[in-house]
Amino acid sequence: MAKSGSVSASDAIVVEDKTFTLNGDNVSYRFHVDNTTGDLLSDHFGGSISGAIPTDPEPEVNGWVGMIGRVRREFPDQGRGDFRAPAIHIRQSAGYAVSELQYQSHSVIQGKPELPGLPATFGGEDDVTTLVVHLYDNYSSVAADLSYSIFPKYDAIVRSANVTNKGKGDITIEALASLSVDLPLEDLDMIGLRGDWAREARRERRRVEYGSQGFGSTTGFSSHLHNPFLALVHPSTTESQGEAWGFSLVYTGSFAVDVEKGSQGLTRALLGFNRNQLSWSLGPGESLTSPECVSVYSNNGIGGMSRSLHRLYRNHLIKSQFATSNRPVLLNSWEGVYFDYNQTSMYTLAEKSAALGTKLFVMDDGWFGKEYPRVSDNAGLGDWTPNPDRFPKGLDPLVSNVTELKAGNTSTNLRFGIWIEPEMVNPNSTLYKKHPDWVMHAGPYPRTERRQQLLLNLALPEVQNFVIDTVSDILNSADITYVKWDHNRGMHESASPSANHAYMLGIYHVFDVLTTRFPNVLWEGCASGGGRFDPGVLQYFPQIWTSDDTDAVERISIQLGTSLAYPPSAMGAHISAVPNHQTGRSIPVVFRAHVAMMGGSFGLELNPEELTEDESAAVPGLIKQAEEIAPIILKGDMFRLKLPEESNWPAVLFVSEEGDKAVMFAFQINPTVNHAFPRIRLQGLDEQATYKVEGEGEFSGKTLMNMGLLVAFEGDYSSKVLSLERV
Ligand code: DGJ
């Protein structure tokens, strides 16, 4: 990847008079204070610039749109003639909807302060520097601090806003964007990730047209429907070429992405809270902090943008000690046995899975509930005591027996993991009978159930403590070193719009306490698959179950889509049984395994007893292969060489951090009859170096990147994994 310079964090912010420039290795972000209005005006966000900049001719002002609606603004407030969507909308104590936030002062901080109560990227003084610009509205006595942190090595700028009521009456924050960016007159495409349950992360690219367009979530959570991620690119930008701006909101709640091409042709993008679910009241002296939004810039196409986000998230977002370390290959019981098990059959499943060489056994849903046993999804959530019919002496006997098993022919003991869904309650539970007031609800309105369950209100301190104590007790009850934290519904009724963000502050507190208390536990996030695949969850959990669709062909699209914003290290990916339980398709085990190997947490999700002889014989070798290449997947750079939505031969290359190793995955979906095979051109190698390509020979980086490898396949669902080594 081309580096145009190396900027140290301490030099990354340049303040001259009232002009602020943030420089990364390949990016500059510049804005200034308008001397007449005190407004912050944007100058540039893109490739590096230096020294003086040309003075733009003043826009001509005619018609209804005044000067304020013709300029590029950093933090557009409500009213006063900017008719585009505002980044902040305050209902002032006197009821007015107008604000006038003007520059007051600024400060530069080495490093990056934490965001109170919210997940956030982190780094030391050598990694990141922060500029805080203080704004003030003299009419309403509202202060707003805009925070800009630059990670120069990652070409990443992280923004958030903090609003404080310095007046004497209450105000309401109706809208607050974490990031607002006004780009110059240019044709742009916007890219988002859309989907639904079992169909996450479909890439959606469309032209930014005049007017407003956008997407978001009102589900209470980041959701399967749309992901809190946006890319803006030029129409000519590809995976490997052209400019790309990526925006990723570090938040797990409802959000909104608004992209608006105003009457003058300038494009404004806003990412932040969903304004329909905010209405946050601030009494005198109170503040609201927005989640933060990461922006990255790349001139190496969409792939370059993704790699910057991946690196930043691996090193400066995910707090877990397991962020980039090899995860134990696991077997998860869900698709193998669903709810149909007891202690003996669970042990047999673990025994069989250990024989294949897995290192971790995960008991999924169905182990708990006494008065309301969890033998189907109709009951039990909330009653986190082991089901006495299944586990008469609690979990410890099973856990002890499983952790004495050895993985394959090794001397490694199996680890034990458990599934929980602690934010939920079934009406059929003792918890709900005891605390019906603990669930999210809106007074007398019916409490809508999804999957026969209701959502606990995590904004309540007593609920937070219940969840913390319950999970702690489970983890202290036996040698459990892995948790799959599930979450299977959205928010339907809430007492007020602000209850949604209050929930988020509550759940972040719970995540923080538990992951700090149990740092040696490997935590996996899950929300019916990827319903909460977002940077907020990744702060606490290093991996997320990517989708409930385990069909390998579907998974290529889902995993590659997810990788637009999130590192492969964060993706849980399993080999499941055939015919696949979601699609009914039968795909060879090698292809299924190769797709799953592209995720940081590789595993199986099937009953080993149902494997054919050939499959059983193949699995130990596939596990070994996954373990060998894992360090490159977990720490390396990912290059999407061919996309599944564009080619019958999707292909991906991972290049190790040091550049000395690489591994290429190539797939054929439909059979090729009487037709040539594609030449796959590699990326990210050293042109001058020579690489040994497994089974092919030795070639220069130049040859591999400019000419490529011709990969031949046989039949449908055929796949190849090739290792490369620099010689
Ligand atoms: C939804 C998850 O995504 C599945 O993997 C499984 O854990 C089920 N819930 C269990 O109820």
Q: How is 46-107 classified by DSSP, letter by letter?
A: ES---S--PPPPPPP--SS--GGGTS-BSS-BSSTT--SPPSEEEE-TTS------EEEEEE
How confident is the model over 13-39, as a mean pLDDT?
Answer: 97
Please tell me the predicted confidence (pLDDT) of residue 310. Answer: 98
pTM of the model: 0.98
Question: CA-CA-CA-CA torsion for 12, 14, 15, 17, nearest 10 degrees?
Answer: -170
How confident is the model over 188-202, as a mean pLDDT?
Answer: 98
Q: Is the CB of 334 under 6 A from ligand 1?
A: yes
Annotated catalytic residue, options 182, 548, 551, 637: 548
Element (H, E) at 362: strand 360-363
Q: In which order are the strands placed within the sheet that holds 697-700?
A: 637-642, 651-655, 661-668, 718-726, 690-693, 697-700
How confident is the model over 127-155, as a mean pLDDT?
Answer: 98
Dig out the tokens for 342 from the structure.
């007891």
Q: Is the CB of 566 under 6 A from ligand 1?
A: no
Is the separation of the CB atoms in 217 and 223 below 8 Å? yes
Q: Among residues 563, 513, 505, which one has the least CA distance to residue 533? A: 563
Active-site residue, 82 included: no
Q: Which atom of ligand 1 is nearest to the CA of 605?
A: 5
Radius of gyration of the chain (CA): 26
Dig out the tokens for 639 from the structure.
């290059």
Going from the C-alpha of 314 to that of each of 154, 322, 325, the distances in angstroms are: 11, 10, 11
- Sign of the C-alpha dihedral computed for residues 697, 702, 707 and 708 taken in this order: positive
Is the separation of the CB atoms in 521 and 420 below 8 Å? no
HEC profile for 46-62? ECCCCCCCCCCCCCCCC
Going from the C-alpha of 442 to that of each of 278, 280, 494, the distances in angstroms are: 16, 17, 5
Q: Which atom of ligand 1 is nearest to the CA of 548?
A: 3
**Which amino acid type is present at position 525?**
G
Annotated catalytic residue, options 486, 534, 549, 551: 486
**For residue 4, pLDDT beyond 70:** no
Q: Is the CB of 424 under 6 A from ligand 1?
A: no
What is the whole-number distance in angstroms between the Cα of residue 367 and the centre of ligand 1? 13
**For residue 520, pLDDT beyond 60:** yes
What is the whole-number distance in angstroms between the Cα of residue 484 and the centre of ligand 1? 9
Q: Is the CB of 528 under 6 A from ligand 1?
A: yes
Is the separation of the CB atoms in 645 and 557 below 8 Å? yes
How far apart CA 426 and CA 428 sit, in angstroms, is 5
The owner of tokens 């890219």 is 191
How far apart CA 219 and CA 216 sit, in angstroms, is 9
202: three-class secondary structure by DSSP: strand
Q: Among residues 183, 113, 181, which one has the least CA distance to residue 145? A: 113
Q: Which atom of ligand 1 is nearest to the CA of 526?
A: 3
Active-site residue, 127 included: no
**For residue 236, pLDDT beyond 70:** yes
How far apart CA 335 and CA 42 sit, in angstroms, is 52
How far apart CA 643 and CA 489 sit, in angstroms, is 31
Q: Is the CB of 486 under 6 A from ligand 1?
A: yes
Q: Among residues 39, 69, 10, which one has the least CA distance to residue 133? A: 39
How confident is the model over 603-622, as a mean pLDDT?
Answer: 98
In b/e form, how buried is each residue of 338-367, taking b as 16+ CB within 10 angstroms?
ebebebeebbebbebbbbbbbbbbbbbbbb
Span 632-672, pLDDT tens digits: 999 999 999 999 999 999 999 999 999 999 999 999 999 99
The owner of tokens 């959502």 is 455
Span 567-596, pLDDT tens digits: 999 999 999 999 999 999 999 999 999 999
How far apart CA 119 and CA 250 sit, in angstroms, is 7
How far apart CA 467 and CA 514 sit, in angstroms, is 9
**Which amino acid type is present at position 714?**
E
How confident is the model over 193-219, as a mean pLDDT?
Answer: 98
Count of C-beta atoms within a 10 Å radius of residue 520: 8
Please tell me the predicted confidence (pLDDT) of residue 266. Answer: 98
What is the whole-number distance in angstroms between the Cα of residue 146 and the centre of ligand 1? 40
**For residue 2, pLDDT beyond 60:** no
Q: Which atom of ligand 1 is nearest to the CA of 529?
A: 3
Span 362-409, pLDDT tens digits: 999 999 999 999 999 999 999 999 999 999 999 999 999 999 999 999
Span 18-28, pLDDT tens digits: 999 999 999 99
What is the whole-number distance in angstroms between the Cα of residue 334 and the centre of ligand 1? 7
Is the separation of the CB atoms in 273 and 497 below 8 Å? no
pLDDT, averaged across the chain: 97
**For residue 254, pLDDT beyond 90:** yes
Span 675-700, pLDDT tens digits: 999 999 999 999 999 999 999 999 99
What is the whole-number distance in angstroms between the Cα of residue 487 and the centre of ligand 1? 8
Question: Which residues lie closer than 8 Å to 247 by C-beta, 6 or more apart?
Answer: 179, 181, 229, 230, 231, 232, 257, 269, 271, 293, 294, 295
Query: Which residue's CA is minimally distant from atom 9 of ligand 1?
Result: 528
Burial class (CB in 10 A: 0-12, 13-18, 19+), 477: middle
Q: Is the CB of 419 under 6 A from ligand 1?
A: yes
Beta bridge partners of 90: 173
Is the separation of the CB atoms in 646 and 606 below 8 Å? no
How far apart CA 148 and CA 161 sit, in angstroms, is 9
What is the whole-number distance in angstroms between the Cα of residue 211 and the centre of ligand 1? 40
**For residue 3, pLDDT beyond 60:** no
